[in-house]
């Protein structure tokens, strides 16, 4: 066999392998084994760091997670911050019964979200979307949970920072439709809920990534996604759910215990 024939043979084998790999994900390769590790609200739980804070996101970077999950909300004056609950009262020592949407960014930035967690974190503030992007760029991906915010300004920010491909979007179906119409390069991550709705979701969105939760997870769910060219990222229900999910072939796990999950994958 001459050199040209050898090159053709290698190319054919490579093509066949790529077609049978289960998906053609646009995401970077996982850092830990073959599984994407998503740090839920940052790596906050294991060392008691304020959730959705820059220190929690930095910790996720330090331990080698693949994504940080952020909850995006819009302030009264049109800025974007990361906070899970709509009301800020849970996160501060003082009694401040206000919603993010009723506060300006300046008012949000005055909040101390660290003291309630521990003296070490006193003075920790709510991060803006831009601050999170600047911290994470080139170091870790972003799993964007769209809580209450306008799509188009967020996309403009991502575009200006060259980070359209660094973010996977979790949102409701109508918002996902808007995202794809506004910027087709954005990576959406629809969630069908129960498995019976999965074929309809795949037909509607043709997604590269599908989100789900442990409650609805099964080997057949993963198989259907892989056959459609999509990877599956699942919210866990504690460490006891990791082994069966790996056996079923899930591609990523979102967890409050990312450091423990990384150790589990390495072992």
The boundaries of every CATH 3.40.50.2300 domain in the chain are: 189-267
CATH of domain 48-170: 3.20.20.190
How would you write the pLDDT of the chain (267 residues) with one tens digit per residue? 455 444 444 343 333 333 333 445 689 899 988 999 999 999 999 999 999 999 999 999 999 999 999 999 999 999 999 999 999 999 999 999 999 999 999 999 999 999 999 999 999 999 999 999 999 999 999 999 999 999 999 999 999 999 999 999 999 999 999 999 999 999 999 999 999 999 999 999 999 999 999 999 999 999 999 999 999 999 999 999 999 999 999 999 999 999 999 999 998
Which one of 3.30.450.40, 3.30.559.10, 3.40.50.300, 3.40.50.2300 gives the CATH number of domain 189-267?
Answer: 3.40.50.2300
What tokens does 92 get?
């501060």
Q: Which of 84, 125, 165, 226 is catalytic?
A: 84
User: Is beta strand 167-170 parallel, antiparallel or unpaired with respect to 187-188?
Assistant: parallel
What tokens does 169 get?
């979007």
Whether 125 is a known active-site residue: answer no
Distance, in Å, from the CA atom of 225 to the CA atom of 63, rounded to the nearest integer, reads 29
Does residue 68 contact residue 136 with C-beta atoms inside 8 Å? Answer: yes
Cite the DSSP H helix spans in 20-163: 54-63, 105-109, 129-136, 151-160
- Residue 106 sits at φ, ψ, to 5 deg, of -60, -40
126 DSSP assignment:
P
The boundaries of every CATH 3.20.20.190 domain in the chain are: 48-170
Whether 44 is a known active-site residue: answer no
Distance, in Å, from the CA atom of 255 to the CA atom of 85, rounded to the nearest integer, reads 18
Cβ neighbours, 10 Å, residue 143: 25
User: pTM of the full predicted structure?
Assistant: 0.90
Distance, in Å, from the CA atom of 113 to the CA atom of 250, rounded to the nearest integer, reads 34
């Amino acid at each position: 066999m001459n050199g040209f024939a050898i090159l053709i043979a290698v190319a054919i084998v490579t093509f066949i392998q790529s077609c049978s790999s289960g998906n053609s994900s646009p995401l970077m390769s996982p850092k830990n084994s073959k599984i994407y590790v998503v740090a839920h609200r940052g790596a906050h739980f294991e060392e008691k760091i304020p959730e959705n804070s820059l220190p929690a996101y930095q910790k996720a970077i330090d331990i080698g997670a693949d994504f940080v999950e952020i909850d995006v909300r819009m302030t009264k004056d049109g800025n974007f911050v990361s906070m899970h609950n709509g009301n800020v009262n849970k996160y501060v020592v003082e009694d401040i019964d206000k919603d993010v949407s009723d506060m300006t960014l300046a008012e949000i930035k005055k909040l101390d979200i660290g003291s309630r967690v521990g003296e070490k974190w006193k003075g920790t503030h709510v991060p803006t979307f831009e601050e999170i992007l600047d911290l994470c760029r080139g170091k870790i991906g972003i799993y964007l949970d769209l809580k209450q915010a306008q799509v188009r300004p967020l996309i403009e920010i991502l575009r200006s920072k060259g980070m359209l491909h660094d973010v996977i979007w979790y949102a409701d179906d109508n918002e996902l439709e808007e995202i794809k119409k506004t910027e087709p390069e954005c990576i959406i991550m629809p969630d069908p809920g129960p498995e019976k709705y999965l074929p309809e979701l795949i037909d509607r969105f043709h997604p590269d990534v599908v989100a789900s939760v442990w409650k609805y997870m099964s080997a057949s769910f993963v198989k259907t996604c892989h056959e459609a060219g999509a990877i599956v990222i699942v919210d866990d229900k504690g460490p006891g759910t990791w082994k069966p999910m790996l056996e079923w072939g899930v591609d990523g796990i979102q967890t409050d215990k990312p450091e423990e999950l990384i150790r589990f994958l390495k072992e």
